[in-house]
Amino acid sequence: MTATLTPDIASRFARIALSHVRREYPNHILHGLDGPEDAQTPSQLHPIFYGSFDWHSCVHGYWMLARLIRLFPSLPEAEAVRHLFNRMLVADKVAGECAYFDRPMARGYERPYGWAWLLKLAAELDGHETADWSAALAPLTKRIVAHFCDFLPLATYPVRTGTHYNTAFALRLAADYASATGDADLFELLLQTALRWYGADTHCPAWGEPSGDDFLSPALIEAECMRRLMPPKAFTAWFDAFLPDISRHEPRTLFHPARVSDRSDGKIAHLDGLNLSRAWCWKALAATLPDSDSRRSPMLDASEHHLAIGLDHVSGDYMGEHWLASFAVLALTEKNG
């Protein structure tokens, strides 16, 4: 039976995020220093996104909370979420986040994963129950859009890893922002970049998957990126050539959930996220196929299998708990259009 996001599960996930988006320690900082004055605490560097172990996880924790109260505005935790947003998504705190990104040493900070999640958060806040949150975040959003526009033309090659530097994942999430806000120029840049990087790819072997700390499938997130950006007919032709043997359960590695040996190890725990992100991708890709297509059933079965295993391990150890619920909500709620 396909899992669904119920109010009870949404409440559980909201409680998880509320417990860590303002938890400053432990904290992993990837921070360049121009001088001794730059040696500061996480909350001094980042007035909003200092919790959740690292900047990008805090951003997608806020995204998840925004989505949960959009879907379930009467959640028991909804008022706590609104209080958090009203207190944190304000002009002076956003200005502090902007100041960090204005530093010369921050040119590549959180590129591209954190950038993508910031735009995903902005897309979720667009048209939300109060315009104040989106308006407050807008200066930082504009900076991240500008960073994408400056960087993508310079990026000769994609990054095909299964971790934060994966470029297909970044294009995929940024596309949601471009669509939500009607930014046709950004969407076109994302599309043309995707075609330049991935348009000629065929017969993906996926023989290197999974790597030991993947939370994304390089093969499936590339396909999901192209599905999101390409016109449907053009995508169908591309997908047929990219993964031509799905009906025979090939590449076989994509159909088998990853095994996690130690959830207290932050890198190994990434593999729980891989199961959740694969579930999302398989479901979204299957939705492009007619019911009669022989690929559809194995793709949906793979999605359900990965999702069931991933949902069992969203909480328990902070190395996964500070981010996995966001990926569960991604898998359970993303629209396929």
pLDDT of 267 reads: 97
CB neighbours of residue 8 within 10 Å: 9
What is the share, in percent, of the chain residues with pLDDT greater than 90? 98
Bond preceding residue 104 cis, omega within 30 of 0 = no
**pTM summary value:** 0.97
In tens, the pLDDT along 187-220 reads: 999 999 999 999 999 999 999 999 999 999 999 9
In tens, the pLDDT along 60-93 reads: 999 999 999 999 999 999 999 999 999 999 999 9
Residue 155 has what DSSP assignment? Answer: -
N- to C-terminal Cα separation, the chain = 23
Q: DSSP secondary structure string, 71-110?
A: H-TT-TTHHHHHHHHHHHSSHHHHHHHHHHHTSGGGTTTT
Tokens of 308: 């069931």
Confidence at 337, pLDDT banded by 50, 70, 90: very low
Reduced DSSP (H G I as helix, E B as strand, rest coil) percent helix, strand, coil of the chain, to 5? 60, 0, 40
Report the alpha-carbon distance of residue 158 to residue 165 in Å, rounded: 9
